[in-house]
Structure 1
Amino acid sequence: MMASMAAFTINDTFMKALAGEVPLFQLLFLRGVLTTLAVGGIAWWMGAFRARLSRRDTGSIVLRIVGEIGAAYFFLTALFNMPIANVTAILQAIPLTITLAAALFFGDSVGWRRLSAILVGFVGVMLIVRPGAEDFTIYSFYALAAVGFVTLRDLATRRLARETPSMLVTFITSGSIMVFFGLASLTGDWVPMDLRASVLTMGASVMIIGGYLCSIMVMRVGEISFIAPFRYTGLIWALVLGWLVFDEWPEPITLVGAAIVVGSGLFMLYREAQIGRKRRFSPVPRPR
């Protein structure tokens, strides 16, 4: 999980390094081509293309594609205009929004402790965004929009049947993103890319593929309640890379907000693990 978070954050760093040099839609299309080819090869090797999708799964994948496209656009637009650590800190609220959305739309039970953790986490997000502050920009809302689209994506993923191959879903999603942003790139001018831009784009593709593979592998063999907290190591990578590559360091109030969001998420994961253990070891009632 830590390797997955490192790969995704390094991808973000490569993409941010190209901000203002290569148009966003062109960049997303080219990265999508490389990623789709690689994911397609892996999916074929794993035999994922032999699976048949149900109508329910097809609808869920369409929603997932909408979530991925929206998340990619809003996240990268925010990333190109904000410090990488600030954007990453806002995205740490995703476990909170997913839990809240699952309670609202799927009827999941959320006790007062987890609900309190979600509310406290949202306070932390407001400390990061700080609407009305002198250094506030509209791109903070872009990062929040990305959180919303990622929540949609993950809720749609949750509706997929267990037997649906993960790599098939990843391939369909990656191909759809490639086609969408390829068409979108035709609305503007393309720019020639030098060796540096080409290497960074290829590097971003490699990091995306590595992040996908690591996250899929860990989800197949690890206990979710144990591995989920390691997602927050992505914030450490964002802080370090933002400082080393872009000479960025968040304001103290932003760090406080990030700590609140992470702390709320960790507490919520701890409570979910506790509830899971109670259900697992609760005595079976005797028949009457």
Structure 2
Amino acid sequence: MTGGGLEHDRSVREAYARDASGLRRVPEAVARPTNAVEVAEIVRRAAGARMCVTAAGAQTSTTGASISDRGILLSTRAMARVLDLDERARTVRVEPGVLLGDLQRALAPHGLFFAPDPTSDQECTVGGAVACNASGPRTLRYGPTRAHVRALTVVTADGATVEVRRPLVEKNTAGLAPVQDPVDWFVGSEGTLGIVVAAELSLLERPARETGLAIPLPDEQRALAFIVAARESPTMRPRCLEYFDAESFAIARGDAGAPSWGPKAGAMVYTEETTDGGEPPLDAWLALAEAFGANAADVRVFDGGAAIREARRL
């Protein structure tokens, strides 16, 4: 299969031969469509030629899912437009090549955000997040990408373009119910059932205040017990709870330039709280931490989005 926007130059194919897994697979051809019509045409022709198609976004996958040494590597990076933003409905429709970080920056002036926060959020694409059902630290509160996808436009293996949408009201009465929403067939399917060419996403209002806490604790057992207690607390509502063992905490100390931070701690827990107004429940967090052996003087507080972003680089 030649022509039709396919690139066979070795240097181009080499440029798409690796992802974050460290694996290397050089595809037979590369396609870089700029719109859904081109995607459908490429897939249709590939089906006729009995060639496989592997979809790729920013290739931040650590599993080798976005590389192949057979058939066509179809990159959606050139499809990076925000198609529509409905502030009232709190939804946005985007092409798959939009970077998550760029999407968040576009939403910020409107007081909105997309909840999923994979660690590669400044590098990965919306299409990739949908394909692997990406999650991140804040999945504890918000859930994975699946929970925030309202509708998808997908090109299937025969080149047909279909739209699947969640119902406004889910069936919850007597009678047979569908096993799964059609949107969920594609979210997390890694492009095996079709290539996402547009996604309608649900958004949330940005909280008025965000606060992060890094809490050194004496040892692993008390750190894990602290996490369980925090989740069960009626006072606190953590949106993430991340555990650092002794070795990880030592690395964080070094990155923070604070080798003496929590000198007697054998573990650390990082958490975040949000409020729509008023003060976060810091006293409750400190009291709980002390109940599990923490030294309140070692607890670090990160107030505001910029401080939290800096904390998450540790």
Q: Give the TM interval when normalised to the shorter protein.
A: under 0.3
Could you state the TM-score of these two structures normalised by the residue count of structure 1? 0.23
Structure with more contact order per residue of length (Cα contacts < 8 Å, sep ≥ 6) = 1
Bigger proportion of residues as strand: 2
